[in-house]
A and B are shown apart, each in its own frame.
Chain A
Amino acid sequence: MPSLGADMESAILMEWLVKEGDSVKKNQVVAEVETSKGVIEIEVFEDGIVDKLLVEPETECKVGMPLALIRSEGENVVKEEPKTESISEPREETSKVESAEKEPIVHEQKIVQEERVKISPAARKRAEELGVDLNKLTPKDGVIQLNQVEDASSSAVKAPLHVEKKEEVKSSPKDGMRQAIAAAMSRSNAEIPHYYLSTSINMTPSLAYLEELNKQRSIKDRILPVAMLIRAVVLSLVEVPELNGFWQENEHQISKEIHPGIAIALRKGGLITPALLDAQDMSLNDTMNSISDLITRTRSGKLRGSEMTKQTITITNLGDLGVESVYGVIYPPQLAVVGLGAIMDKPWAEGDALSVRKVLQATLAGDHRATDGRTGALFLDRLNKFLQNPEGLL
């Protein structure tokens, strides 16, 4: 079970979309899982053949739990009995459905290890009754005994409470989303020293250009200003890549791929920021169509796992609600949030002439551990330049 967000503990496997013996390709959707953020499609990370489905539908699975065994084509069928050699070996032969994150792999190894440790049947039964985590026990002479489980149970009071909490989350997914947002935003505010920059952008040239473009198009092929803005943000990030990536383990990691998380508010409360994957490779038309598709799938709860986890920066656009400036909170471990306000008629001075122009407040919240105000200022300057020369955005 991949982690589909920093705060996800578990999800329910709803349906397998492949069966044992099927061959699968990298990025193919193989299962649907239900999380606090709706139904998410899980992709496989390597080509291969589904050797074994380890989990029945409608099972709640912890993050890191193996869901299926997948072997490379041409490889022998893996024996069902876990091997007794070193832990890492089966991993080389059979790759599990897993996320690219490091954490789940660690969990997975623990589970694999547990299978290899002998546990007396009585100890296993008692552990279930008492809610003792067998992974945490050290076997004596290679075997976990009943008395060890009972000794551990006194210190494992937390375990049953934990289960209770998860069931609450399961019964009301909206609360789960609120909790996840609360945890991520608290962490952000506690850990990330934010800096904020704001600039006024004259949108009249871009909007005039778009209006001419849309006049020649049928209604279904129209481009919205938001798509043009997101395209301009992506092109600016190509020139100022320092804001696109992560701050992890006290290190500034710049991502080559630009996967902006687009903040999409849900009308009945909550917020999802799915990634617009590989936005750097999209034309203006592609950007428009992909965002439109992303919004539809977000609202209907049909996002892919990769769209939930790969965001390299966040773009928040609250212009539709008339907000002028957005001062964002960075979603860890990302490095920045770009805020786009409403496009409003404003007095605009140029030389000694005063006129009325369509004006947008673009803001940037940056992580001061990774970048300085200068980087943010460069980014906003590029953004402004792209929007003054809209033909370059096609």
Chain B
Amino acid sequence: MTKDEIKNVIIKQILEIAPDITADEIAADANIQRSLEIDSFDFLKILTALNEELEVEVPESDYSEVATLEKMADYFLKRL
């Protein structure tokens, strides 16, 4: 899977969990939780859904490495 494909998977899951967000609101370098007002529950749901789809589990200690769309795509790319 390429990085762009991973990004698309992430965007798809964000939109699924937070249907009131539109794809163009998701900036690559913005903090996902702060910029989109994703609370900790929704963020966990996004990570759970990504875990099911990509089979990569993000431990809590790595949360700083998945804070933005760009970082998250890199994180998954390294572990796929």
Give the Cβ gap from B80 to chain A, nearest Cβ, in Å.
16
Interface size class of B (residues with CB under 8 A): 20 to 34
When each residue 30-45 of chain B gets 1 if its CB lies under 8 Å from chain A and 0 otherwise, what string results? 0001101101111011
When each residue 238-275 of chain A gets 1 if its CB lies under 8 Å from chain B and 0 otherwise, what string results? 00000000000000000000000000011110000000
- Give the docked Cα–Cα distance between A368 and B62 (Å): 45
A215 B40 Cβ-Cβ under 8 A = no
A211 B20 Cβ-Cβ under 8 A = no
A-B contacts besides A219-B58, A265-B37, A266-B20, 10 pairs, CB < 8 Å: A211-B60, A215-B59, A219-B51, A220-B51, A222-B60, A224-B41, A224-B44, A299-B18, A299-B20, A321-B34
A268 B20 Cβ-Cβ under 8 A = yes
A218 B57 Cβ-Cβ under 8 A = yes
- Chain B residue nearest to A320 in the complex (CB): B39
A292 within 8 A of B: yes
Q: Which residues does chain A contribute within 8 Å of B60, judged by CB atoms?
A: 211, 214, 222
Q: Choose from B18, B41, B57 the contact partner of A219 (Cβ within 8 Å).
A: B57
- The interface size of chain A toward B, counting residues with CB under 8 Å, comes to 21
Give the Cβ gap from A140 to chain B, nearest Cβ, in Å.
56
Closest 8 CB pairs of A and B: A320-B39, A220-B48, A219-B51, A267-B37, A224-B40, A295-B41, A267-B20, A219-B48
13 A–B contacts, CB within 8 A, in A order: A219-B44, A219-B47, A220-B51, A222-B44, A224-B40, A224-B44, A267-B18, A267-B36, A295-B39, A295-B41, A295-B42, A320-B40, A321-B37
A8 within 8 A of B: no
Interface of B is mostly: helix
B interface residues, Cβ below 8 angstroms from A: 18, 20-21, 33-34, 36-37, 39-42, 44-45, 47-48, 51, 57-61
Q: Which residues does chain B contribute within 8 Å of A292, judged by CB atoms?
A: 41, 45
- Chain A residue nearest to B61 in the complex (CB): A211
A347 within 8 A of B: no
A291 within 8 A of B: yes
A225 within 8 A of B: yes
A225 B44 Cβ-Cβ under 8 A = no
- Chain A residue nearest to B51 in the complex (CB): A219
Q: Which residues does chain A contribute within 8 Å of B21, judged by CB atoms?
A: 267
Q: Choose from B34, B48, B51 the contact partner of A322 (Cβ within 8 Å).
A: B34
- Give the docked Cα–Cα distance between A218 and B55 (Å): 12
Give the Cβ gap from B11 to chain A, nearest Cβ, in Å.
16
Q: Which residues does chain B contribute within 8 Å of A30, judged by CB atoms?
A: none
A29 within 8 A of B: no
Q: Which residues does chain B contribute within 8 Å of A267, judged by CB atoms?
A: 18, 20-21, 36-37
A55 within 8 A of B: no
A67 within 8 A of B: no
- Give the docked Cα–Cα distance between A291 and B34 (Å): 20
B18, B41, B47, B48 interface centre (most CB from chain A within 10 Å): B41
Give the Cβ gap from A264 to chain B, nearest Cβ, in Å.
8
A219, A222, A295 interface centre (most CB from chain B within 10 Å): A219
- Give the docked Cα–Cα distance between A215 and B57 (Å): 11
Q: Which residues does chain A contribute within 8 Å of B44, judged by CB atoms?
A: 219, 222, 224
* CB-contacts of A282-297 with B (<8 A): 291-292, 295
Q: Which residues does chain A contribute within 8 Å of B20, judged by CB atoms?
A: 266-268, 299
